[in-house]
């Protein structure tokens, strides 16, 4: 294995691309205004209408667009932690396959909701979130007990982070469905990406190990009520709060 193969260079490269694209967004917003930026999101973000218009490039372009600094930072920090685990363990080719396929599966989940009338065909979704959830789904099965510093600034087992985010996204998605409230977060694409990533994880680790990990997850689920207070305490130490305090955001 070469030195380059020992480093998550693709993960770093994709993070840099996300930052470059966001800087371009800021430039266009400053130069041409908010309305022009929203037009970019509509043109290059993913939506049912974009597929009807045969703008299939949005399957790729939508991944690298982000709507705010918080959106960008949380996504690239997560990409850093989960991406490097997958890239170093499975190699660059499989990493790229999971990266893009998770996003596409997330987009298919959005199309499904749109077809059955639960989502507007004109709403554009942007961001690397579905891909991050796909990488998380794979990482939780191939390296479940690796300690990571995401989303909190203290080390937590990867499988516990995956459990927190899985439960949160499922709960929020069900809340939106049952209350018909609107959200600017595409929880269904997160779930689609997660399922895609987990399927890759099962394929790599085998059904026996995957089953054992799922049993462990079930045990964690049983203790979730007792962990809730701890989770709420940890929320004070996430990256968004730290960055907000640094830049004086209220």
Which residue carries 């600034």 as its tokens? 153
Q: Does position 248 have pLDDT exceeding 60, yes or no?
A: no
Question: What digits encode the pLDDT tens for the residues 26-43?
Answer: 999 999 999 999 999 999
State the Cα–Cα distance between residues 26 and 222, nearest whole angstrom: 45
Token pair listed for 44:
């290059």
Question: What digits encode the pLDDT tens for the residues 178-191?
Answer: 776 666 778 899 99
Q: What is the DSSP letter of 5?
A: G
Q: In sequence order, what are the beta bridge partners of 156? A: 148
Gyration radius of the chain over CA positions: 18
Q: In sequence order, what are the beta bridge partners of 125? A: 46
State the Cα–Cα distance between residues 194 and 47, nearest whole angstrom: 20
**Residues 125, 48 contacting (CB under 8 angstroms):** no
Tell me which H or E stretch contains 50.
helix 48-52
pLDDT, position 84? 95
Q: Does position 89 have pLDDT exceeding 70, yes or no?
A: yes
Would you state the CATH architecture of domain 4-247? Up-down Bundle (1.20)
What is the domain partition of the chain in residue ranges?
Answer: 4-247
Tell me which H or E stretch contains 221.
helix 207-222
């Amino acid at each position: 294995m070469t030195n380059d193969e020992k480093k998550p260079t693709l993960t770093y490269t994709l993070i840099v691309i996300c930052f470059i694209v966001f800087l371009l967004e800021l430039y266009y917003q400053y130069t041409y205004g908010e309305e022009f930026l929203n037009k970019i999101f509509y043109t290059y973000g993913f939506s049912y209408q974009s597929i009807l218009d045969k703008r299939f490039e949005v399957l790729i372009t939508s991944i690298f667009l982000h709507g705010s600094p918080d959106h960008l930072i949380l996504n690239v920090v997560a990409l850093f932690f989960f991406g490097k685990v997958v890239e170093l363990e499975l190699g660059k080719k499989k990493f790229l396959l999971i990266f893009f396929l998770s996003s596409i599966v997330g987009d298919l989940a959005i199309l499904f909701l749109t077809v059955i009338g639960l989502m507007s065909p004109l709403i554009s979704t942007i961001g690397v979130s579905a891909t991050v959830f796909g990488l998380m789904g794979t990482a939780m099965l191939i390296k479940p007990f690796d300690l990571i510093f995401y989303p909190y600034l203290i080390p937590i087992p990867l499988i516990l982070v995956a459990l927190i985010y899985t439960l949160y996204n499922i709960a929020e998605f069900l809340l939106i469905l049952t209350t018909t409230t609107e959200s600017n977060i595409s929880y269904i694409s997160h779930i689609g990406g997660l399922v895609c990533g987990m399927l890759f994880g099962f394929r790599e680790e085998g059904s026996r190990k995957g089953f054992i990990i799922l049993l462990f997850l079930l045990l964690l689920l049983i203790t979730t009520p007792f962990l809730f207070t701890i989770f709420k305490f940890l929320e004070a130490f996430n990256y968004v709060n730290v960055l907000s305090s640094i830049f004086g955001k209220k």
